[in-house]
Amino acid sequence: MFLGIGILLILLWLGGFFMFHTAGFLIHILLILAVVSLIFHFLRGGSRAI
> pTM for the complete prediction?
0.51
Range of the domain at 20: 2-44
**pLDDT score for 5:** 82
**pLDDT score for 14:** 80
Q: Is residue 40 in some structural domain?
A: yes
pLDDT per residue rounded down to tens, the chain (50 residues): 778 888 888 888 787 767 766 666 777 777 888 888 888 888 887 666 55
**pLDDT score for 20:** 65
Q: Is residue 28 in some structural domain?
A: yes
Domain count, the chain: 1
Q: Is residue 31 in some structural domain?
A: yes
CB neighbours of residue 13 within 10 Å: 20
The SS3 assignment for 22 reads: coil
Q: Is residue 49 in some structural domain?
A: no
Q: Which long-range contacts (CB under 8 A, 24 or more apart) does 24-33 make?
A: 33/9
Q: Is residue 25 in some structural domain?
A: yes
d(CA 10, CA 33): 9
Q: Is residue 50 in some structural domain?
A: no
d(CA 4, CA 41): 9
